[in-house]
Chain A
Amino acid sequence: MSTAVAAREQEPDYLSSKKGIASWLTSVDPKRVAVLYLAAILTFFAVGSVLAVLLRVETMSAGRAMLSASAYDRLFSMHGAIMVFLVLVPAFPAVLGNFFVPMMVGARGLAFPRLAVVGFRLYAAGAVLALVAAALNGSDASWTLAVPYSLHAGIGATVLAAGIALVALSSILTALNLVVTVQKMRAPGLDYRRLPLFVWGMLAVSLVQLFASPVLAATMLLLVAEKTISLGLFDPSLGGDPVLYQHLFWFGVHPILYGTVIGAMAVVSEILATFTRREVSGHRFVAGSLIALALLAFLGWGQHLFAGGLSVYATLVFSALGLLVAIPAVVIVVNWLATLKGGSIAFETPMLYALGVIVLLTIAGLANLFLMAPAVGVYLRGTAFESAALHYLLGGAALFGFLGGLHYWWPKMFGRGYNETLARAGFALLFIGFNLAFLTQFALGSRGLAGASYDFAADFQALQLVSSIGGFALVAGVLLVLVVLGMGLAERERAPKNPWGSASYEWLAASPPVEDNFAVELVMERGPYDYDLASDEELSDAGSEEPAVAATPTE
C-alpha cells in the first residue's frame, strides 16, 4: 500500500468530515444530498402513511366513523399526492441514485454536484408548498388534480400544483445529472457491458424523468395559471378542454410512475446478484428491458382516458401500445427466477424484500392486464380494483423495492448495521399486512365498489374491515422498520465494509465512504458480478477498511 493511499484512508468519512447543520445544507457532496433527500422522504412517507391510516379507519365500517366526507376527500387526495410526488418519485434517483450511481461507476462524485444541491432545494421548496397547501385546508382535488374539479377546488389545490411543478423541475435536474454521470464519469475499464444493473435502471429512470417531468411541470404551471388568471385552456365553461388536461397530465405522469417501478427493478436485480452470488441471468436482456420499459412508458398515457375522452380506435391503439410493456416486464421476471436457479442463496432481509417484490410485481402486472383489456377494463376502472392494482405497484413493488435497497445499502450509507431478526419481522408484518389490505380491495372493486368512497353499501363491510386490519398491520410494520433502522444508527459497532460479500464496486469503498467515495482511483478489471474473478479479500465481510488489494496501484 502506497503511503499516499494510506494517508487518505485516515480521512474521515463523508458523514463526519464536517459537522453542523449548515455543513449539511450547503454540502455539495451528493452522498450528503442523498441523505437529506432520504430524511425528507422518510418524513413524508410517515405523513402519507398516517393519512392512509385515517382513511382506513373511516372505511373500516359503512356510515360515518370519524371524518367528515370532505375531510376524507382532502385526506385521500393529499395521501396520493404526497406518496407519489414527494416520496416515490424522488426515492430511487435522488436517494439511491445520487448516492450509489457515482460509486458504482467508480467516480469520485456526480458530474454536477451543485446541480444536485439545486435539485434538492427545488424539491424542498415544492415540499414546503405541499405543506402550505395542507395548512390551507389541503386539496380535495384528488392526486391527479383533475380538471374541472380542481378548478372549483380551493387555494390549497393551486398551491399544491405549484409544489408539484417545483418537484418536477427538481426531478429534471436529478435525472440530467445521473445521465451525464453514467455517460461521462465511468472509471477506466467500465464499459457498458459491465455496467451494473442498478446503474442501467437509474439510467432508465433518469431518461423517464428527464423527458416526462418537463411536461408535468408545464402542465402544473398551466393549471396554476388557469386557476389564478383563468387562461381558459382547460375550463370547459370558458371554451377550454378538460380532456386536454388529462392528456398532458398523464403524458407526464404515466412514465414517471413507471419510473418508480423501474427503480425497484433496478434495486431488486442488484440484491438478487449479491444474495445469489452470481450475475443476473441474461444481464444484457435485463438491462435492455429496463431501458425498453422506460421508452415504452412514453406510449401508454392513453390508458388513463379509456372511460372518457377517447374514440374507440384511439382506445384500440393505446391498449396495444400500453400492453407492449408486458414484454420487457416478463423478460425481467423470468430472468430473476433464472438467477435464483443455480445460485448460492442467502436470505438476509434485503433478499426477503427482493423476493417480496417479485411476488407483488407479478400480482400487480397481472392485475393491470384486467384494467387494460377494454371489455373488463371499462367496468373495473375507477373502482377499488384499480386502487388495489395501483397500490400493488406503488406501495407494493416500488416501495418494497426501495425498502429492500435501503436495508441492502444501509451499512454502506451509515456504517452501521441493524438487528437482522427484527428487520425480518418488520418485513413479515409489511408483507402480510400489505396483502391483507389490498387483495381484499381487488375483490371489493370486482364487486362494484367505486373508488374515493367515504361510504359504501353494507355488503362491502366485511372485506373493508379485513382491509383496514391489514392497513393497520402495515403501518405497524413501517414503524417497526423505521425503529429498527434508526436503532441501527445508534449501534456502537461499525458495520463491516462488505457485509453481504458482494462483488459489486460500491462495496470496495469504506463504510461509510470517504467524501470522494474511494481512497483510490479504480480501474475496473472485472465486472461487478464476476464472483470468480473477485479476490477473497474483496468479498470478505470483515473489517471496515478498504482491502489492501483494491488499493494496490497498478503500474
Chain B
Amino acid sequence: MENQTEPSLLLPAQLSTIAPQVDSLYHALLWSSVVVSVAVVAAMLFFAWSYRRRPGVKAEPSGENWPLQVGAILGGAAVVLVTFFSGWGGFITAAQAPDDSVAIRVRADAWAWQFEHPNGLTEENEVHVPANVPVRLVMSSADVAHSFFVPDFRVQQVIEPGSFSSVWFEAVERGSDAAASDTVADRVLYSTRATCGEYCGARGDETAWSPNGGHATMSAAIHVQHEQDYRAFVARGPALPCRQPDGTCGIGGECSAEESGGCLFTSKTCSACHQNQADRPQLVGPTLYGAWGHEQPLSDGTTVAVDESYVRQSILQPASQIAQGFPNVMPTIPLTDREVTALVAYIQSLHPSE
C-alpha cells in the first residue's frame, strides 16, 4: 500500500508501514458507519413523517414480524463478524515484531521519555530511529502508567509500571529522495512526535505547559534517519568517561575501555565496597585487585573461576552467586552494556604487572 505522507482531513500522515493498513480499516469502518447511520436516520425521519398522526387514522397493530427479527439478529451477527475479522488482520501484525528489529529500551516516568539504543547510547525526550527497518521498543515505567503514542505511526502501547510492554513500528521514508550515498550521523529525514496516551498528571505551576511538564506535554521527538546515518549516529556510542588532561574523570576524548572502566569504578560507587589496589584492607566486598583468574569459593560450597562471564554475572546479578564469607549486600547498579564491558576490562586489568 502507498503511504500518504501528508495529513488528511481526519487522519495524520502515514509514516509507518502499518499506517495504511490501520487507515484502510478505519476508512472501511467510517464509511460503513456513515452509510448505516444515514440509513437509520433516514428511515427514522421517513417513517416518522409518513406515519405522523392524522385525524381518524389509527395506528396499525404491531406484530412479531419474524422475518424482521431474524433479519435484525443476522444483521447484528454480521456487524459482529465483520468487525471481529476485519479488526484482527492488522492487529496480529502489529503485535509481533519481526526478528530482525532494532531493539530500543524505553523508560517512561512522569514526565519524560528515556531511550537507550542497543549499544547503550541514551537519549532524553528524543530518539533517532532508522527508516525502513523495524524498530522494537521494550518499555517500562518507573512510576504510574503511561502510554507511548505516535499518531503518525498509528501505534500506541500502554506501559504499566511493574512489567514490560513492547511495541514495534517501521518508519517509512518521507518523499521520494533516494538513500544518500554518503553517511552523515546528524542527518534527519524528518521528525515526528510521540506523546503520552495515558493520563499521568501534571505539575501544578506554569511549567506544566512547557515541554514535558505534564501529561499533555509529555512527548518525545522521533528523528527518522537513513539506516546508515542511524548506524553512524549510534556508533558514536554512549559517552563513556575518560581521564581528562587534569587527571579527573569526565566526558570527552577517546580512551580505552580499561581506562573508562577505571573511571566508572569510582563514579558508580564500586570503590565503596571493593578494594582495587594491592596491600590495602579488604572492604565490605571481596578485593578485586588480583582476583581475575583465581578460583573463588562460593557460599553454596562450589568454586568458580573468576573470568569474564563470572565477573559480568556478578555485576549484573549480584545475588546469583555469593562469594563465600561475604554478605549478600551488593546492589544491582544500573549499567549499560558498554559500561559493564568497560568495568570488566578494568577488573581484568587489576593485577600486578609482570
Contacts and interface: CB of A to CB of B under 8 A. Distances in A.
Note whether A and B contact each other (Cβ less than 8 A). Answer: yes
Nearest to B77: A327
B36 A366 contact: yes
Interface string B331-348: 000000000000000000
Given A308-B158, A451-B199, A330 B75 contact: yes
Interface string B77-99: 10110011011111110110000
Contacts of B197: 307, 381-383, 450-451
Contacts of B195: 448, 450
Interface in B56-86: 57-65, 68-69, 71-73, 75-77, 79-80, 83-84, 86
B51 A342 contact: yes
Contacts, number: 293
Interface stretch (A177-185, A272-280, A397-405): A272-280
Contact of A69 (B37, B65, B158, B214): B214
B29 interface: yes
What DSSP secondary structure best describes chain A's contact surface? helix
B69 A140 contact: no
A447 B63 contact: no
B208 A454 contact: yes
Contacts of B59: 276-278, 342-344, 531
A334 B73 CA distance: 10
A330 B69 CA distance: 10
Interface string A243-261: 1000000000000000000
A345 B52 contact: yes
A323 B83 contact: yes
Nearest to A529: B62
Given A366-B37, A375-B89, A73 B165 contact: no
Contact of A276 (B26, B51, B76): B51
A452 B152 CA distance: 20
B271 interface: no
A331 B73 contact: yes
Interface residues of A, number: 91
A374 B88 contact: yes
B204 interface: yes
Contact of A278 (B32, B62, B145, B155): B62
Interface residues of B, number: 92
A242 B143 CA distance: 12
B198 interface: yes
B61 to A, nearest CB: 7
B209 A63 contact: yes
Contacts of B214: 69, 454-455
A532 interface: yes
Given A362-B41, A379-B154, A343 B199 contact: no
A447 B151 contact: yes
B16 to A, nearest CB: 11
Among A307, A381, A531: residue with most chain B CB under 10 A: A307
Given A282-B68, A374-B91, A375-B88, A342 B145 contact: no
Contacts of A363: 33, 37
Interface string A338-361: 111111111100000001001100
Contact of B160 (A242, A333, A446): A242
Contacts of A63: 209
Contacts of B88: 316, 319, 373-375
A149 interface: yes
B33 A377 contact: no
Contact of A330 (B47, B48, B60, B79): B79
Contacts of B95: 312
A68 B205 contact: yes
A461 interface: no
A241 B162 contact: yes
Contacts of A68: 204-205, 208
Contacts of B298: none
Interface in A9-33: none
B51 A152 contact: no
B33 A366 contact: yes
Interface string A442-474: 010011101111111000000000000000000
27 contacts: A70-B204, A72-B202, A236-B161, A279-B62, A284-B64, A307-B158, A323-B83, A326-B83, A330-B76, A334-B71, A337-B47, A342-B59, A344-B53, A344-B54, A359-B40, A366-B33, A372-B83, A376-B87, A378-B91, A379-B151, A443-B10, A448-B152, A448-B195, A450-B149, A450-B197, A455-B216, A532-B61
Given A282-B68, A339-B62, 9 more contacts: A64-B209, A69-B213, A308-B158, A330-B76, A359-B41, A373-B86, A379-B154, A382-B197, A455-B209
Q: Which 8 A-B pairs have the closest CB atoms?
A: A448-B151, A373-B87, A308-B158, A236-B162, A375-B90, A69-B208, A327-B76, A69-B202
